[in-house]
Structure 1
Amino acid sequence: MSDQPSAADEIMDGVYRALRAHGYADLTMQDIADECSKSKSLLHYHYDTKEDLLVAFLDRVITDSERRIAAHADDPPAERLAGFIGWFVFEPEAVDREAFHIALLELRTQGPFNEPIREQLVRSDRLLRGTVVDILESGIEEGVFRDVDVEETAALLVATLDGARTRQITLSRGATAADGDEAEGESAAAERSDGSDGSDDSDDSDGSDEDGSADEGSGHAPSDGTAGVSDTADRPEPAYTRAVAEAALRRIVEPLLAAGAELPSLEDGIAAMAPVDEDERE
């Protein structure tokens, strides 16, 4: 049995690479032919138009996602949910993945005007929400999650993660200081929603331990004179998808957990759903 990829696999891999390189709007059949080492005439032999080929590609992407999700069907529900959330996270340096999702975003705009593309988009949405529903139902049955409206919770979680990914790929390259101010404001609002105004209500208002030494992070000036300078000032901002995924675990998943159930880490979730090879489409 040959290990060589089929012509169909080569064409789909070519579509993937061409979308990353050219996006949807500027993509041509010749671009795809160049990426898969097939002739343009051969592509037209199998697919009448670029749209026909892209619909077939979307079908392949969704089928691959179905297989990937099915491979984790026997994992514990909380771990599966963390893995699902981690699936949406990608860092700014993942430029190929970003380019691919930008192209997919362009494709999604064709949904209202192209019925075959819309059908694939609806199928993808049903897969994502259905996966979360299945995880929640399994978790409720096993006593890991509280009894909640699974359809409503799935819709909220998918919309949150999908929106975060869209925001990252559309705004990350044009981020400004205003974005940082907005994020800081959102963080402060979240603290207020928890009933905290950010102040320390402890009796030890001088920020000292019983032995008189200053607590770490108490606000006392460091001895080297760098008062007010944070040691995290030079660290890059986390990817927006990562920040939202962390918030989803805390704000959506953690309240779902039954007594005694543990919240999996986002890193474990990301690792669980990591692609097997670099060309795996996410």
Structure 2
Amino acid sequence: MEAFIGTGVALITPFKEDLSVDTRALTKLVKNQIENGIEYLVVLGTTAESATLTHDEKELIKDTVKEANAGKLPLMLGIGGNNTASVVEELKTSNLEGFDAILSVSPYYNKPTQEGIYRHFKAVSEASPLPVVLYNVPGRTASNVLPETVNRIARECKNIIGVKEAAGDIVQAMRLISLVPEDFKVISGDDMITLPMVLAGGKGVISVIGQGLPQEFSDMVRAGLQGKVKEAYELHYRIAPSIDLIFAEGNPAGIKALLAKKGLVSNNLRLPLVEASEVLTGRINNFMENF
């Protein structure tokens, strides 16, 4: 499939008991994704607990993923922030060798106007040597990038090739799909409405649950892209309870509990995030045992 169509996963950062980066577990996780149908990998997004990682740890994670991937899947790298000048500087100075695109979140906390968001991404576009996917996640940023703004960016910033749309609003997603150029990728950032978005014309997903159920979730997305609606919805309804579970106490607590149940990682998070509660962990374990 064309790069960044289908299922990408937002990789977690596995930690050891001492909360150092577990490169062996990360390698194992990447290989598991490759072997189970995932189309691309997203490195150092929000799910990776990137806000708690040092510069050296980020470089270690980038190197580990590139080595484990060995050129098999396209790689997207998270570089974003709420200081435009700082993001521009990072794009200009980072070692981007081995990566195929940038995922850049809309500025958080500052709550810019739509004009401010447009100018931010215009600066990002001009600075980035790689194609950029804009990330709209109002639940984390406190501002919504409206479809009209994304359309303006799509038409005026030629190396911004898509948007990860995570407003959780299928009506907004459909308006977005109807506005943007045909070759501009509208990618779901919300696992639960991924299939409706794909059937409405979206190009796939950057997923969290896809990391825990890679074969089943990527099969669902492929079926949706191929118009196999019945087959796709059968998979959707089988997977759907796990999506509610992994987000019940925030991300990535739930997906780490699920991945720990699968024996891929240890269930460790860095403060201020904490591991899923005993009750939720039990529910996740029960789902996996009966899946």
TM > 0.5: no
More strand by share: 2
The alignment's TM-score, normalised by the length of structure 2, stands at: 0.30
Please identify which structure carries the higher helix content.
1
Q: Which has the higher contact order (CA 8 A, sep 6+)?
A: 1
Structure with higher Rg: it is 1
Normalised by the length of structure 1, the TM-score is: 0.31
